[in-house]
Amino acid sequence: MTESPIRKIRSSFSLTQVKFAKQAGVSQGYVSALESGDTQIVETLYRFLDAVGIDMPSLEKRHEEFVELRRREIKERLGLEKYR
C-alpha cells in the first residue's frame, strides 16, 4: 500500500494528525479518514482540487518543490550551502 499524499504532506511538516486537523479546522478523525483513503472523503477532496484545476500529482509535486526551496533557504541563512 502506498503512503497517502495527505500523510506525506502532513509528515513533512512534522505535524501530528491532531495539530494538522486543528490548523485545517477539521477533526482528527477527518484527517485520519483522508489518510486512510475513505472513499467518500477522498472523492470529495479530488472534486475540490478538480474545481480549482489541480490534480493530486501536481499538488504533491508543488509541495515537494516548496519543501526543497525552504530547505535551501534555511541552509543559506545558516551558511550551510556547502553541505548540499
CA distance 37 to 69: 29
Measure the CA–CA gap between 62 and 64, rounded to whole angstroms: 6
Q: How far apart are CA 4 and CA 34, in angstroms?
A: 8
Q: What local confidence, expressed as pLDDT, does residue 18 receive? A: 96
User: Is the pTM value of this prediction over 0.85?
Assistant: no
Query: Does 13 score more than 80 pLDDT?
Result: yes
Task: Please tell me the distance from the alpha carbon of residue 61 to that of residue 43, in angstroms, as a whole number.
Answer: 20
Grid cell in block for residue 69: 526551496
Quote the pLDDT of residue 17: 95
pLDDT bucket at 21, cuts 50 / 70 / 90: very high
Per-residue pLDDT at 83:
54
From residue 45, give the alpha-carbon distance in Å to each of 2, 8, 56: 18, 16, 10
Write down the mean pLDDT value for the chain.
Answer: 83
